[in-house]
Structure 1
Amino acid sequence: MKYFGTDGIRGVPNQLLNVEFLIKLGKSLNCLDSKEVVIATDTRISKDMITSAISAGAMSMGLNVKLAGVISTPALIYYSMKKQITGVMITASHNPYIDNGIKILNKGIKLNKEEELKIEELIDKPLLEDSEIGKLEYDNNLKKDYIDFVLNNVVKTNKRICIDCANGSTTYTALPIFKNVTDDLVIVGASPDGYNINEGVGSTHINFLRDTVINNKCDIGFSFDGDGDRVICVDNNGNVIDGDMIIYLIARYLKKNNKLNDNTVVLSIMSNLGLIKKLVDNGISVYETPVGDKHIYEALEEFNFSIGGENSGHIIIPNILHTGDGVLIAIMLIKILEETDTNMSDWFNDLEMYADRMINVSVTNKNAIYDNEILYKRIDEIKKELKDDCKIIVRPSGTEEKIRISVMAKDIDLVDKYIEELALIVMEMA
């Protein structure tokens, strides 16, 4: 793919995401089924420039554009699916403010490969304007529709809860929701200024939430990313609960209540081997997919499974919403804890996670690893040395010119030893 990565298009404003490119992208939306486009953003300073250019391109092709302002990706997906129209989310998720990106939805569903290729083709060739010109309007009801939808799932609690909004989209969606969940709410990362999204806060800076939970004696904390489609938790003891562990908790609850289809969960290849073994011990099978919530969703749809996600905190429960939704998952966790009269920490007493480490290596041609025979020979040797009680993943990044190396095993010293060795092999090809 020329422009699309694992989750839409990513780039730097005024570089890849320049006005000419964005207008062409807006024009290309005419190839989708809907003649109406709704556009939303996270809190980055570049949001207005990108919104304006995409809107102009779309309207020049006769498409009507609705601007939803700053809302979360799940809120946009909910609305795009409900209204059966094209959705455009302007966000770079957990990246710093200097980056931005575009996620495109066809009636609430992320584009398939054929649709992405069609849009890339249209971007790269001249497009004539349509004889009709579309209209622009501002939609102030979208956020309310989503909040009302989530509030239908809310259970009141007396727990002291901390939420970290990453100075991003959930500042405008999570706050009104959680004020209906508890009267004892600690709020951080909720002062966006266009430049501070994900800056020392949010799901990729979980130690900030951990310290806040401990210092404020909270019962539980939830940290969202910049556009609100992922969540990482901290329990009452200050332990970090990642996406895999959240799925472990919810899957056990669903299985106990006979609501886990085929007693199976969907996880990415990055999921922790210790957690997989514990799921199997609990009678729960694991279906693994490539990295990316798009692949998780496709497996959930194809096999009608109940829950899937990634350790990064993207978690999808398709009978509620066809996307990862950090706020909705947090609400579900609170509901489970209230119903079972437990704390988050009670669910993981017997869970032994494997040591896990990842290294990113910058390269000039990330796809060259597929021809690196030395690398794959050494990976096979390491697996034999560890008697296959390990997980080794070397893959090109979907958004950057980097190779991601992940090693997982019981012994952290062996993890450190082998990942450094593999990183050196990759560096030699860089």
Structure 2
Amino acid sequence: MGRLFGTDGVRGVANADLTAELALGLSVAAAHVLAEAGTFEGHRAVAVVGRDPRASGEFLEAAVVAGLASAGVDVLRVGVLPTPAVAHLTGALGADLGVMLSASHNAMPDNGIKFFARGGHKLADELEDRIESVYEEHRTGAPWQRPTGAGVGRVKSYDQGLDQYVAHLIGVLPNRLDGLKIVLDEAHGAAARVSPEAFARAGAEVITIGAQPDGLNINDGCGSTHLDLLKAAVVEHKADFGVAHDGDADRCLAVDHTGAEVDGDQILAVLALAMREHGTLRHDTVVATVMSNLGFKLAMEGQGLATVQTSVGDRYVLESMKEHGFALGGEQSGHVIILDHATTGDGTLTGLLLAARVAETGRSLADLASVMERLPQVLINVPDVDKSRVRTSAELSAAVVEAERELGSTGRVLLRPSGTEPLVRVMVEAADIEQARSVASRLADVVKSALG
């Protein structure tokens, strides 16, 4: 069996790859592993379970709840809420673990399971590996230790979760949003109620799109992966700016008043300067990934701030932040982690803090985001190659050295094997888009010839 856990939980086509049987078995295994790790500390274990509005989440939630309760875990069902809300409630309620059913920005047929440990933190790789191992042991015949009678878990609905989470978000804001008109694209996802409620309570005039989830339309032509509707709505309503979430609302992208996209790098830059001003940007450092635009690093250096780069994936950003005590990190895709207030990327929190900065300064989002200039970036996916030889091919190494020499200090080359497909991603940044395209095309040809 290949590794079930990817970079963000277990994900696949619901009822094909991700079945009710798998969801139930993984939930029982998670309960056993976390108990063995001492998480439950001798008391009756409690789990918080939430989901996004996908139709498949209904039966998968039932399977997860059944698995946890059959392992002796009491379950609090919080219903449809964003991933960061489930993480927050796991910590706030003192639960021993949390479970979120979502495939994030993926299309509706997919779904996924994310586990959180006590405090609302994502599981370390070794715990995920142990859960897989225990699941596989019992799948192939070893019996579960099953409680009976009063030992089985009890299941309750926890209806206060939305208000509790929104109150947390409002309590984080340094100032109100009165006078701002903001369009919110909820991707017909988990934040369809939470995000408009939070922005409205903070004082903003709110216009919503993509806020009518029916279980089938999540991420369908809307949200952070499809910004055209938001761009049009912001211009049409003459709004100050717009915010787009993905299906589980752990990310945030924005659109300024002109309809121009403000990506995760620019959002990080704006928040970094705000946090430094407020004295909350520890070590004057921001954590980003290798995919962040070179313009972000140059902008931060120009403002006297340091940047730390990690591998692609918000979990690696979070690991670096925890290890070194940094307060802010994120990805170009819009995963932004403000560690003093969240244990994972939180799209609603990010959008609120961005709005708070606009309200506080009286400057437009376009003006604030202009602190960094995005260098032209070209990405080419080269399929059907031996991605394992990216770092060992002499021919490819020589081509990269030559490309970096040509680009100089205002350009960058990144070759990255895909984690899920037999392809290599060629990314080139340069001060001039034509130069970026030319260098990327040449490198893609070398990748084909050297690794094909």
Query: TM-score with structure 1 length normalisation?
Result: 0.94
Give a deviation string over 1:11-38, Cα, whole Å, max 9, x none.
1112321233222211111211242222
Report the equivalent of 2:170: 151
Report the equivalent of 1:216: 237
Report the equivalent of 1:97: 108
Report the equivalent of 1:301: 322
Q: Which of 340, 344, 347 lines up with 1:326 in the alignment?
A: 347
Give SS of 1:38's match.
Answer: strand
2 CA distance for matches of 1:165 and 1:238?
Answer: 17
1 CA distance for matches of 2:103 and 2:364?
Answer: 33
Give SS of 1:232's match.
Answer: strand
Report the equivalent of 1:190: 211
How far residue 378 of structure 1 moved from its aligned partner, in angstroms, is 2.1
1 CA distance for matches of 2:28 and 2:387?
Answer: 31
Report the equivalent of 1:202: 223
Instruction: Determine whether 1:49 maps to 2:59.
Output: yes
| Aligned AA (2:108) | Y
Give a deviation string over 1:16-66, Cα, whole Å, max 9, x none.
212332222111112112422221111212111221222222222222222
How far residue 261 of structure 1 moved from its aligned partner, in angstroms, is 1.4
How far residue 361 of structure 1 moved from its aligned partner, in angstroms, is 4.2
Report the equivalent of 2:97: 86
How far residue 87 of structure 1 moved from its aligned partner, in angstroms, is 0.8
Identify if the C-alpha distance between structure 1 residues 81 and 368 changes in structure 2 by more than 3 Å, giving closer, same or farther.
Answer: farther
Which stretch of structure 1 is more off in the superposition, 78-87 or 181-190?
181-190
1 CA distance for matches of 2:28 and 2:217?
Answer: 31
Identify if the C-alpha distance between structure 1 residues 96 and 427 changes in structure 2 by more than 3 Å, giving closer, same or farther.
Answer: farther
1 CA distance for matches of 2:342 and 2:55?
Answer: 29
Give a deviation string over 1:228-251, Cα, whole Å, max 9, x none.
111011112222111111111111
Give SS of 2:29's match.
Answer: helix
1 CA distance for matches of 2:16 and 2:146?
Answer: 31
Report the equivalent of 2:154: 135
The count of corresponding residues between Structure 1 and Structure 2 is 430
Q: Which of 107, 110, 115 lines up with 2:122 in the alignment?
A: 110
How far residue 303 of structure 1 moved from its aligned partner, in angstroms, is 1.4
The unaligned stretches of length 5 or more in structure 1 are: none
Give SS of 1:169's match.
Answer: coil
Give a deviation string over 1:117-144, Cα, whole Å, max 9, x none.
1112112211523331322222212222
Counterparts of 1:29-428 in structure 2 under 5 Å?
29-30=30-31, 31-32=33-34, 33-34=39-40, 35-82=45-92, 83-107=94-118, 108-126=120-138, 127-132=142-147, 133-154=152-173, 155-182=176-203, 184-349=205-370, 351-363=372-384, 367=388, 369-400=390-421, 402-426=423-447
Identify if the C-alpha distance between structure 1 residues 62 and 400 changes in structure 2 by more than 3 Å, giving closer, same or farther.
Answer: farther
Identify if the C-alpha distance between structure 1 residues 401 and 14 changes in structure 2 by more than 3 Å, giving closer, same or farther.
Answer: farther
Give SS of 1:244's match.
Answer: helix
| Aligned AA (1:112) | A
| Aligned AA (1:25) | L
Report the equivalent of 2:10: 9
Give SS of 2:308's match.
Answer: strand
Contact 2:251 2:346 in 1 (8 A): yes
Which stretch of structure 1 is more off in the superposition, 22-31 or 341-350?
341-350
Contact 1:229 1:323 in 2 (8 A): yes
| Aligned AA (1:16) | D
Give SS of 1:221's match.
Answer: strand
Identify if the C-alpha distance between structure 1 residues 49 and 422 changes in structure 2 by more than 3 Å, giving closer, same or farther.
Answer: farther
Identify if the C-alpha distance between structure 1 residues 104 and 377 changes in structure 2 by more than 3 Å, giving closer, same or farther.
Answer: farther
How far residue 216 of structure 1 moved from its aligned partner, in angstroms, is 1.4
Query: TM-score with structure 2 length normalisation?
Result: 0.89
Contact 2:266 2:372 in 1 (8 A): no
How far residue 199 of structure 1 moved from its aligned partner, in angstroms, is 1.1
How far residue 183 of structure 1 moved from its aligned partner, in angstroms, is 5.5
Which stretch of structure 1 is more off in the superposition, 268-277 or 350-359?
350-359
| Aligned AA (2:132) | E
Give SS of 1:190's match.
Answer: coil
| Aligned AA (1:66) | L
Give SS of 1:227's match.
Answer: coil
Percent identity at matched positions? 33
1 CA distance for matches of 2:281 and 2:210?
Answer: 34
1 CA distance for matches of 2:58 and 2:422?
Answer: 27
The unaligned stretches of length 5 or more in structure 2 are: none
How far residue 382 of structure 1 moved from its aligned partner, in angstroms, is 1.1
CA RMSD of aligned residues (A): 2.1
Give SS of 1:74's match.
Answer: helix
Contact 1:90 1:100 in 2 (8 A): yes
Give a deviation string over 1:305-342, Cα, whole Å, max 9, x none.
12111111111111111211111111112222222222
Identify if the C-alpha distance between structure 1 residues 115 and 319 changes in structure 2 by more than 3 Å, giving closer, same or farther.
Answer: same
Give SS of 1:266's match.
Answer: strand
Give a deviation string over 1:338-394, Cα, whole Å, max 9, x none.
222221122244532210122344448754545544433322221122225322222
Contact 1:210 1:238 in 2 (8 A): yes
